[in-house]
Every structure is written in structure tokens, then in C-alpha cells.
Chain A
Amino acid sequence: MGRFNQSKQKSIPAVNTSALPDIIFMLLFFFMVATTMKEVNLQVDIEKPTADQAVALEDKDNIDFLYIGFPTNAEHGTEPRIQLDDMLINDYHAIQEWKRSSIPQGRSILEVPTSFKVHKDVGMRTVSLAKEELREIDALKIIYSADKTE
């Protein structure tokens, strides 16, 4: 019986976890470098079109994003809707106010581009009306968001 007693006393050596923080930190740094912050929580579904001539956006902090897509929540209907920041808008004129207030002090409205993130099945009527509003206030620089293909 002595043999059994002996094995009971021998405990399994603890796994050395001192390298665990290092591994996690490495993962953390990878994600910090390789990803970008989400701009907003989307309330519309957007499947972007593809384009091989699309170029990566530089200086994303100085770009305003305007989203047009089909509402994910059925309460908002099935027609394409425009989302600015975290709000779905009903009135196109709200775009003017939104764009004006987004311009930082000392910069001209001409310099700050607006990026259109639009679902590829949305009709051009909505897009065109949104563009007209921007044209009204001379916010002429726009970027049509598209996924880059080779």
C-alpha cells in the first residue's frame, strides 16, 4: 500500500505562466497596429461596391462619413435611409447643418472631404439629393467609398 501513498503525495508541478502576459501583450500590440477605430455603430446595412481604381484614404480623421443603406431595424422601413454620425435622418437639409458643424475651426469647408458609404443597390435619387445638399454649401470634395479589388 505504501506505493499508493507515495504517488498521492507527489503533486503535479504548476504550469509556468510567467510568459503569458508577454504573449497577450504581443497580441494586443498586433491589434492596436493592424486595426482602426470604428467610426459609428451602423444602423443601416451597407454592402459597398467594388472598384479597382479605388485608393486607400489618407488622413481619416479629417473626413466626414455619410452612410446610405437599408435600415437594419424593420421599424425604420425598407426604403434607403441616410445616417449621419449616430442618427438616421428624415430631412435631407439636415446634411447641411451636419457638414457645417463638423468643420474644425480655421479650416475651409472646401478642404474637408465627405465620404459616401453607400449600399450598391441604393437608387441614385437618394445619393443625388444628398450631393445637392453638399453642393449648396460648397462642400465639393467627395469620396465614393468602394472596396479595392485587383
Chain B
Amino acid sequence: MAKRNIGEINAGSMADIAFLLLIFFLVTTTMEVDAGIARNLPLKQDRIIDIPPVTEPDVLEISVNSKDELFVEDQRIQISELEEVSRSFYTINANGIVVDPTMPEHDLISLAQCQQKINYFQHELSLHPHNKIMARKLQKWEQKKSICQLYSSQSFYEISTMAIVKIDNQANTSFGIYIQIQNILKKVVNDLRQEKCTELGWGNYHELNEHTKQGKERLKQLRILVPERIIESKIEQ
């Protein structure tokens, strides 16, 4: 068989091609990593079906004026103090005893109470199967029941379900200070959820995976144990 002689391929322009591609990527891409704080906007007013009345101790009102000065319940504070204030909002009455009457109360939720509520809502749902509010409430109580079962006492203290943080901004309040506030609120909630995780032996909060069944369940339970409810008032024009 005759050996055919294949000529050598000239790879001299290979470097040029690679350079071209390299320069293309250098120009069209950026090194920066995107990060951010995720939040949910409140539903549009007319979509909310039942707006419960909110009592004073259940609201932590943070207002910022146009000079970026911070006020909590009309008292001037420094941004460095906000973490402590918002932490005590969640924890000061945490054992059912009212230490500070201006902060939200905590209610003892017991297994028997959960079961009673579940029975009630199941009965209601069998009468009105399309009632979405009932269905949601039933779900909530089923989750609370599962939380009760986590503790040896078969009960836990839940922060008032109306407890809410309210941020009041002025037209000229800077976005920078707003993010600082959001960041602090996030930090407090993350820290408290981490404490719950440690208490329950779940390890690291940030490693809970939403895509596994167990992780999802635990995240839901943490959202009841340490709820994160923030509203903002509209800025007057």
C-alpha cells in the first residue's frame, strides 16, 4: 500500500486566532460578581383580602429623614444601634413573659392547640372547598404542628403574628442608608434563624437547600419561628 504523504498543517496563524478570541472576551465581559439582598414587595393594596388591625407594640417603626438621620419610634438613634434594637424586637419577650410592653408579645403554641385548629379548618374546608384563605391557614397550622413536634416540650413560643417592621423614607433619603437598614434587618433575622438551627441541630442556616424536601421543610419552619415581615409606607410627593 502506498503511503500517502499528508502535508503539515501550518499552525502559524493559530496564535492570531487565539489572540482575537481573547481580545473579544476581554472587551465583552466583566469580572464583577453580582450580589444583592432579595426582598418581596407587598401585594397591591386591593389584592389583600383581609388586613388585620395592627396594634402599636407589634410595629417597629424605623424612619429616616432627608438628612439620613435615623429614628426608631420617634427616638433618634445611630445606625450602629439599630441592630440591637431590632434584635430585641424579636427576642425581648421571647419566653412568654412581657419584659418590654412596647415590643411584640409571644404566644405559646401547643400541640393540642394546633390539632384543634387543624380539625376546625379541615371541617370548614370540607364545607367550602374553594376557600383559599382557609386552605392557607390550615397549611400554617400544620406547619406549626410540625414545629411543636421538634421540641421535647411539644410547644414553642411564637412571636405575635402581626409583628412587623415598618420603614419610613423621605423623598431625599439616600438609597445607601436604606440598604444599610435592610442589611441590618437581614442580618438580625439571619442570626436568629442560625441560632434556631443550632438549637435544633440543623447545622448551618445558609447551607439549608431549598431544592431538597427536608431543606425546604426546615426553611418553612424557620420562617414561622423567625418571621421577616417588612413594610414601607409610600413616600408623599
A: residues with CB less than 8 A from B are: 17-18, 20-21, 24-25, 27-28, 31-32, 34-38, 49, 51-57, 60, 68, 113, 115-116, 118-125, 127-128, 131-132, 134-136, 138-148
Contacts and interface: CB of A to CB of B under 8 A. Distances in A.
A127 B234 CA distance: 11
B34 A115 contact: yes
Q: Which of A21, A115, A138, A143 counts the most chain B CB atoms within 10 A? A: A21
B52 to A, nearest CB: 20
A124 B36 contact: no
Contacts of A118: 175
Given A113-B38, A121-B176, A124-B175, A21 B11 contact: yes
5 contacts: A35-B31, A55-B38, A57-B36, A124-B169, A142-B41
* Secondary structure dominating the interface of B: mixed
Contacts of A28: 18, 21-22, 25
Contacts of A122: 174-175
Nearest to B11: A21
Contact of B172 (A119, A123, A142): A123
Contacts of B34: 36, 56-57, 60, 115, 145
Interface string B205-237: 000000000000000000000000000101101
Interface string B20-42: 01100110111111111111111
Contacts of B43: 135, 138, 140
A147 to B, nearest CB: 7
Contacts of B31: 34-35
A119 B169 CA distance: 17
B178 to A, nearest CB: 6
B91 interface: no
B182 interface: yes
A108 B28 CA distance: 31
